[in-house]
Amino acid sequence: MKVTIIDCGSGNLRSAQKAFEKVSSNLYKNTKIIITSIVEDLEESDFIVLPGVGSFSDFINGMKKINGMQEALNYYVIKKGIPFLGICVGMQVLATKGYENEETEGLNWISGSVRKIKTNANLPIPQMGWNNLKIKKNHPIVNNISEKDHTYFVHSYLFDVNDETQIIASVDYGVDITSIVAKDNVIGMQFHPEKSQKVGLDLIYNFISME
Amino acid sequence: MLKKRIIPCLDVKDGYVVKGINFVKLKKISDPVEQAQIYQDQGADELCFLDISASHEKRSIMIDIVKKTADRCFMPLTVGGGIKGLEDIRSLLKAGADKISLNTFAVNNPILVKKAAEKFGTQCIVVAIDVKKTANGNYTVFTHGGRKETKLEALSWAKKVEEFGAGEILLTSMDRDGTGKGFDIEITKKISDSVSIPVIASGGVGKLQHLVDGIVKGNASGVLAASIFHYGTFSISEAKKYMNDSGVLVRL
């Protein structure tokens, strides 16, 4: 079983790798969790993970600097249907467009846009900390996850998803914030499952149990 | 809703967790990686490592501690102390830190806070502000682990770091640190109410009620404590239960 974690130059991917190692060893015999910026490494992946920190535009620009990466992602994820997980900004770039720093085109895998969180509730921005998930829709990714479960968020922008049926979970932060999106084999999480202790590891388990 | 955070802090010197009183007399306690694991098991919301003597001593040991901790603790990890440039930030983030806390560095090079926020994202730049109340009632910012006084006034400095892209402020009262007398609520509230980024209250927790006060009276987004957890006076779970019973929303 091979999990490919894509490095678009945005820092800490070690935690994601360790979390996948911990979870996958309970589920598969031979597991290989790699971090890579090399397009060819996507070959023969069973799962593809795109973690992201930083801004939408920086992240997309970082991806574009890797020759052929965006095309390869489109090929393996959209054409071949390899299960995919985008984390934080890695989820946001699934959108059609982002408005952080400047208007930037996303991967456009899930129709919608990414814009700054605006609440009337006078809450600090970024949303930083643990919030409990509101499950909107039954989906294998939220197996055994309840509304009492918390995950760790740190973000100032939210994903405004056009088709509400693609929203699996949200959290309340003055406004409803999309927290898990899903469309076919593509999953996105706004929070950091690799930083969300047991609940996060359970969500990763659900992801790598997907077929 | 977003819950208020309880953050145990591990003050690290030469690879050991230590805790001082008013920043100076240091007492060696335990191995930071083991201690981090204990806090994770007790349900800490985040961990904070402060390399307290790092401004003037070697500290490659810290990278190793961060790596080992990040390998076993799947939770947010903030690291601070002795950061001298963007390269230090990058290597700590690479080792597994999620947020980097800047103090002396930020005061000396405010523009680099901006650069760091642009490069690594606002979310991972914390500015630690160590303050002391002066005779005229103002709060002054200190650097170098509390050894050096600056000319900066706390509130205006807090607003400035927000403007420069800090994603969070870690506010420590040096008058209270290690005393067990509770947070300095006055300055905590003043800063929390004046900036739109989260403020973490630190310095002085001796009783569980102090944690509640930091949130309810100080309007902080989270509370940080070292001694009460290190010395086992209270566990994180006891602290959370107490806060929950007092009406503070916490993750149980």
Residue ranges of the domains in chain B? 5-244
How far apart CA A101 and CA A95 sit, in angstroms, is 16
Contact criterion met (CB < 8 Å) for B70 and A18:
yes
The terminus-to-terminus CA distance of chain A in angstroms comes to 12
Contact criterion met (CB < 8 Å) for B5 and A130:
yes
Residue in chain B nearest A128 by alpha carbon: B198
Q: Which of B71, B97, B121 sits opposite A54 (nearest CB)?
A: B121
pLDDT in tens, A49-63: 999 877 899 899 999
Q: Report which of residues B54 and A2 the model is more confident about.
A: A2
Above pLDDT 70, what percent of chain B? 93
Residue partners of B101: CB distance under 8 A and separation at least 6: B48, B50, B78, B79, B80, B81, B83, B126, B127, B128, B170
- Closest Cα of chain A to B207: distance in Å? 23
Q: What are the residues facing B197 on neighbouring strands?
A: none
Does B95 contact chain A (CB < 8 Å)? Answer: yes
Residue partners of B41: CB distance under 8 A and separation at least 6: none
Does B218 contact chain A (CB < 8 Å)? Answer: no
- Closest Cα of chain A to B43: distance in Å? 9
3-class DSSP state of A154: strand
CA angle A55, A41, A76 (to 5 degrees): 75
Does A84 contact chain B (CB < 8 Å)? Answer: no
**Does the structure show a pLDDT above 60 at B26?**
no
**Does the structure show a pLDDT above 60 at B57?**
no
| B71 tagged catalytic | no
pLDDT in tens, B138-152: 999 999 878 899 999
- Closest Cα of chain B to A126: distance in Å? 7
Q: Which of B51, B88, B130, B177 is catalytic?
A: B130
- Closest Cα of chain A to B194: distance in Å? 11
Give catalytic residue positions of A. Answer: 88, 192, 194
**Does the structure show a pLDDT above 90 at A95?**
yes
How far apart CA A90 and CA A55 sit, in angstroms, is 10
Contact criterion met (CB < 8 Å) for A200 and B67:
no
Read off the DSSP letter of residue B212.
H
Provide, as residue numbers in chain B, all residues whose Cβ is less than 8 Å from the Cβ of A194.
74
Query: How large is the angle between the packed helices B60-72 and A14-24, nearest 10 degrees?
Result: 30
Provide, as residue numbers in chain A, all residues whose Cβ is less than 8 Å from the Cβ of B196.
124-125
pLDDT in tens, B167-206: 999 999 999 998 999 999 999 999 999 999 999 999 999 9
Q: What is the pLDDT of residue B19?
A: 67
CATH topology of domain B5-244: TIM Barrel (3.20.20)
For residues A187-208, give the mean pLDDT. 97
User: Do residues A57 and A27 lie in contact, with contact meaning Cβ atoms separated by under 8 Å?
Assistant: no
CATH topology of domain A2-208: Rossmann fold (3.40.50)
| B80 closest CA partner among B46, B39, B37, B34 | B46
ipTM of this predicted complex?
0.90
pLDDT in tens, A147-182: 999 999 999 999 999 999 999 999 999 999 999 999
Residue ranges of the domains in chain A? 2-208
* Amino acid (1-letter code) at residue B112: L
